[in-house]
């Protein structure tokens, strides 16, 4: 019952009922990434291309899509990583979750939320005034 209610009322906990129905009717599983996200295609989008989507294993977070799958999802490449021997490039970093809104979020020096004291104003700054 809980799963049904989550799918009916939320979109961030995996798939909604609408997505489940669309996946059942038109979805063809294309592959799965190392994090457990499952990728599908089927039907046409508004531009006439094959529609592609992902069902996230956990919370829906777009930044959790690996680079190879990102290229396929956005029609940059036609071949999904599951159909080729895809290897990340040496400069591609491992996924880091989006920490916005959490204690681990980036807070630059001087930010009100950083917990540190803001730097003192030195007087080498002249405020802009209109007409000057």
pLDDT in tens, 41-63: 998 888 888 899 998 888 788 88
pLDDT in tens, 64-97: 888 889 999 999 988 899 888 888 888 887 777 7
Q: Can you tell me the distance from the alpha carbon of 114 to that of 97, in angstroms, rounded to the nearest whole number?
A: 20
pLDDT at 76: 92
Q: Tell me which of 81 and 113 has the higher pLDDT.
A: 81
Q: Tell me which of 102 and 125 has the higher pLDDT.
A: 102
pLDDT at 40: 93
Q: Can you tell me the distance from the alpha carbon of 41 to that of 55, in angstroms, rounded to the nearest whole number?
A: 11
């Amino acid at each position: 019952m809980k799963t049904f209610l989550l799918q009916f009322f939320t979109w961030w906990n995996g798939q909604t009922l609408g997505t489940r129905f669309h996946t059942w009717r038109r979805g063809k599983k294309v592959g799965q990434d190392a994090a457990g996200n499952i990728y599908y295609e089927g039907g046409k989008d508004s531009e006439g291309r094959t529609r592609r989507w992902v069902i996230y294993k956990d919370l829906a977070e777009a930044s959790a899509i690996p680079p190879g799958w990102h290229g396929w999802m956005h029609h940059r490449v036609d071949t999904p990583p599951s159909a080729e021997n895809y290897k990340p490039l040496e400069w591609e970093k491992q996924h880091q979750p989006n920490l916005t809104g959490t204690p681990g979020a980036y807070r630059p020096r001087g930010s009100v939320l950083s917990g540190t004291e803001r730097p003192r104003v030195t007087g080498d700054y002249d405020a802009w005034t209109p007409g000057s």
